[in-house]
Structure 1
Amino acid sequence: MEVAIMHSELNKNVCKTLIAAEYAGVEIKMAENFQMGVSNKTPKFLKMNPLGKVPALETPEGPIFESNAIARYVARLKPGNTLFGSSPIEYGQIEQWIDFSALELDANMRAWVFPRLGYATYIKSAEESYISGVKRGLGALNMHLVSRAFLVGESVTLADIIMTCNLVNGFKYLFTKSFTSEFPHVERYFWTMVNQPNFSKIINRMGQVKQADVVLPFPSTKKPDAKPKSEPKKEEAPKPKPESEAAPEEEEAPKPKPKNPLDLLPPSKMVLDDWKRLYSNTKSNFREYNDENTVSFVTMNKVGGFLQRMDLARKYAFGKMLIIGNEPPFKVKGLWIFRGPEIPKFVMDECYDMELYEWTKVDLSDEAQKAS
């Protein structure tokens, strides 16, 4: 069966279909002489997609538009591949991660980058919201990938193809190394995927994927002068200002920002960075939280949001959270080390979901507690 894809240029949305075709063994014909702004406004194309958007797929049975739908169709053309998993539960989980990729990550990343590409108006508060959404999504994805090479099962599925393609522009334009260092398992997953032969064969046609050194800057809005510059005017002696226009009184110097109470504590003999390195290489067990978490992505979102809110304690704490179990209800366990003898008051005040967890102060002299 011959299918033809119509697009203006190779981008991450087209790559989804072409990579799926590589895994499924489907031949895709590329539409020739397609010109955006012309070809997509013809009556023929508008019958394929009434919105005139690309990509669109032409098949013997009829047209398909929307990149995820096109990739799904191509992945199903030839039976026998595992792009949709090997069981109903894997199929559901693949669809789950496709939706997650579109709604939690791609939507926020596009809104973040569009003003920087000149496609939308920049609003600082809106950008901050989009960045927060991206971090929340990456945090949940990072936790899921702690002990997994793929999103579902033990091989590449359509979920991995769509997730990776959606992440490409993030890594190229937005995600500096300092940004992704908070999500090491996402980093490892992304670079593993883009270097798979079927991925690199397609994605590298857009140019080699390199991680951004800096967040993409805003386009310059300064326009060149259209008129020749006039002769400079002769300087005139400045006129004295009336008393009503006299310079305002000097503003009061800003008051120094009060120090965090934890910075006032005496020096600690414990070096937190040394502990983090020791902890990262030591097998640890965690205390149970509760058994109310019955939906995996909801549980991940809750814990991911909690970790984002705990970012305010980064200088004063070290923490680790785990979601345990393959079947609901999922267990949430964690271990936190705080500067000082108690959980800091500002953390309790600012991180509103602290009270949802059961906190137990560790007694290092209690062998039973250390073992648990």
Structure 2
Amino acid sequence: MTVVGTIYSYPQNPRVFKVLVVAKYNGLEVKVDDSFVMGTTNKTPEWIAKFGASQVPAFEGTDGIVMIESGAIAYYLAHYKGDSSLIGRSKAEEAHILQWIQFVDISIAPSLSQWIQPLFAPERAIYNKLTETQAIEKVKNKLHVLERHLFKKTYLVGERITLADISCASSLYTGFKLVFDEPFRKSYPAVTRWFNTIVNQPNFKAVAGEFKLCETALKFTPPKKEAKEKKPKEEKPKAAKETKKPKEPEEEPEETFEDAPKPKSKLDLLPAAKMSLDEWKRQYSNNETPVATKWLWENIDLTTDYSIWKVDYKYNDELTKLYMSNNLAGGLMNRLERARKYAFGCLVVAGEDNDNIITGYFIVRGNAEEMIEEITDAADYDSYTWVKVNVDDEEKKKIDQVFAWEGAINGKPIRDGKVFK
């Protein structure tokens, strides 16, 4: 292999992975300086004079070129050989490669860092529950964009691995290693499949080694409060009387994030419903569907207590395999945890491979004309249409059919489904 330069960084830096993997694909050798000491080597006047900043990774080419920023270094090496497929087969493909690299590096990586850094490097970032929650939601929302794009694709751009796949997988590497546990990954089956494909390529494994997906997500553990040392009581003469001092209030224990009161939903302020949603869920789980739905129509009050919404996937014309459509429906259900106390729903997949639809109904607490925040807040919400329906006898038949996963919808037989309860 042709030696093209040396890279400087701390060990196992995922941002270096992309550089070394690109070099592997192009048959180039990049040396790693093992003598580099983070916080020392990159703080010297000589370093600053050469690279202009203390950040890493930094690259010095055998031809004298120097640069920082892993994305720029990887792009330089991807272009090192003019015939490399890593940069696409056309100007349009190259533009799309840069699009996805920038999308992940700008829209996901900073939020992922906000989420993870306080958990494993508290000396560099102070933990804040609100900041963590906001960061997680941003990561989820942007991963949903990737999920939709990769739903029918093996790679981000074109039909083979490009710089986009290598760079984006490297940027998400720490997430899949530390916090994207199995429950989290269920919402992103296509992204997970793509990530596994990339990190298990021989060239990637040669750089980063075997990869194991996160089993238990890293969580914040509040530091234990140090017990105050008790001073021994001093014996005082019995005869000596002293004015009684007011008792000092005991120091309250430090409030942990787990103790913080959870904000109540405005739905909790509604008058008690005549029908318990939990009881309906038990009826649905423990009885044949016709028996359960008969109980439902006898007990539900749709004038004030509840409303029913018709749900349809907006991109049914893009659906392919039935099992993939069902996974997509499951993705929505997995994102509705906030609504579990206030909603019940069924989505079904009807049709055949390459000709199917996702549709269904949701029972929702309250009778407002707008969908509840607990559902609109879900990342997948905008991928569906939600229409409040007037439940007449004809509509009841359609709802019964969906809740039972039986029959056909617009001539398409119901094949599978998901339940939110």
Shared fold by TM > 0.5?
yes
User: Number of residues paired by the alignment?
Assistant: 320
> Could you tell me how far 1:182 is from its partner in structure 2?
1.4
Q: Specify the alignment match of 1:4 in structure 2.
A: 6
Task: Tell me if the contact between 1:48 and 1:56 (Cα under 8 Å) persists in the aligned partners.
Answer: no
Task: Tell me if the contact between 1:75 and 1:83 (Cα under 8 Å) persists in the aligned partners.
Answer: yes
Q: Specify the alignment match of 2:410 in structure 1.
A: 369
> Could you tell me how far 1:163 is from its partner in structure 2?
1.0
Q: Specify the alignment match of 2:345 in structure 1.
A: 317
- State the Cα RMSD in Å: 4.5
2:180 is equivalent to residue 175 of structure 1: yes
Q: Specify the alignment match of 2:323 in structure 1.
A: none
Q: Which of 117, 127, 134 in structure 2 is aligned with 1:129?
A: 134
**Matched position secondary structure for 1:348:** coil
Cα distance in 1 for partners of 2:362, 2:187 equals 21
Structure 1's 334 and 137: CA in aligned 2 closer, same or farther, altered over 3 A?
A: farther
Matched AA of 1:102: D
**Matched position secondary structure for 1:89:** helix
Query: Can you list the C-alpha shifts for 1:223-281, whole angstroms capped at 9, x where unaligned?
Result: 999x9x78855899xx9x9999999xxxxxxx9x667964454834449xxxxxxxxxx
2:146 is equivalent to residue 141 of structure 1: yes
Unpaired segments of 5 or more residues in structure 2? 237-241, 251-263, 291-311, 317-331, 350-355, 390-394, 402-406, 414-421
Q: Specify the alignment match of 2:353 in structure 1.
A: none
**Identical aligned pairs, as a percentage?**
31
Q: Specify the alignment match of 2:160 in structure 1.
A: 155
Task: Tell me if the contact between 2:313 and 2:384 (Cα under 8 Å) persists in the aligned partners.
Answer: no
Q: Specify the alignment match of 1:51 in structure 2.
A: 53
Task: Tell me if the contact between 1:83 and 1:158 (Cα under 8 Å) persists in the aligned partners.
Answer: yes
Unpaired segments of 5 or more residues in structure 1? 248-254, 272-285, 291-305, 322-332
Task: Tell me if the contact between 2:345 and 2:363 (Cα under 8 Å) persists in the aligned partners.
Answer: no
2:111 is equivalent to residue 108 of structure 1: yes
Cα distance in 1 for partners of 2:147, 2:221 equals 32
Structure possessing the higher relative contact order (Cα contacts under 8 Å, 6 or more residues apart):
1
Q: Which of 57, 62, 65 in structure 1 is aligned with 2:65?
A: 62
Matched AA of 2:170: C
**Matched position secondary structure for 2:214:** coil
Query: Can you list the C-alpha shifts for 1:152-202, whole angstroms capped at 9, x where unaligned?
Result: 111110110011111111112111111111111112111121111001111
Structure 1's 79 and 344: CA in aligned 2 closer, same or farther, altered over 3 A?
A: farther
TM-score (norm 2): 0.63
What pairs with 1:348-359 in structure 2 (closer than 5 Å)? 348-350=371-373, 351=376, 357=385, 359=387
Find the structure with the greater CA-based Rg: 2
Cα distance in 2 for partners of 1:145, 1:46 equals 41
Structure 1's 51 and 349: CA in aligned 2 closer, same or farther, altered over 3 A?
A: same
2:252 is equivalent to residue 211 of structure 1: no
Cα distance in 1 for partners of 2:149, 2:16 equals 26
Structure 1's 320 and 200: CA in aligned 2 closer, same or farther, altered over 3 A?
A: farther
Matched AA of 2:345: A
2:94 is equivalent to residue 91 of structure 1: yes
**Matched position secondary structure for 2:372:** helix
Cα distance in 1 for partners of 2:382, 2:145 equals 18
> Could you tell me how far 1:102 is from its partner in structure 2?
0.7
> Could you tell me how far 1:99 is from its partner in structure 2?
0.7
